[in-house]
Amino acid sequence: MPQFIFVTGGVISSLGKGLASASIGNLLESRGARITFLKLDPYINVDPGTMNPYQHGEVYVTEDGAETDLDLGHYERFTSVTMGRRNNFTTGRIYYDVIMKERRGDYLGGTVQVVPHITDE
């Protein structure tokens, strides 16, 4: 049965949540646990690729070419896990995916709403 550890820190950036998460992952992995990471960012940007690095920090490019949060680089350096596009989610990416589905007609002309469409995404 999967077990989860959530590391949160409100709206303040640069508190060390990413390094703390990577360290916890390293400790768990050293004890034989199979681990992965999901970085969830609430900003409306689709990804951090075009964000000002002075406001957000440097971008980390994963092996699959995704422009992601720098924390994914910490996760890779501290553990044996390879990060990719599916390890970094933003509110903007989720909304973008739902809007693209609506444009393709996936919702058959129905009204697209936060509940259930965004929450189900």
Q: What is the pLDDT of residue 19?
A: 93
C-alpha span between 75 and 72 (Å, rounded): 5
Kindly state the percentage of the chain with pLDDT values over 90. Answer: 78
Q: What is the pLDDT of residue 53?
A: 86
Tell me the pLDDT tens digit for each residue of 22-75. Answer: 999 999 999 999 999 999 998 899 988 889 888 888 999 999 999 999 999 999
**What's this model's pTM, rounded to 2 decimal places?**
0.84
Q: What rounded mean pLDDT belongs to the chain?
A: 93
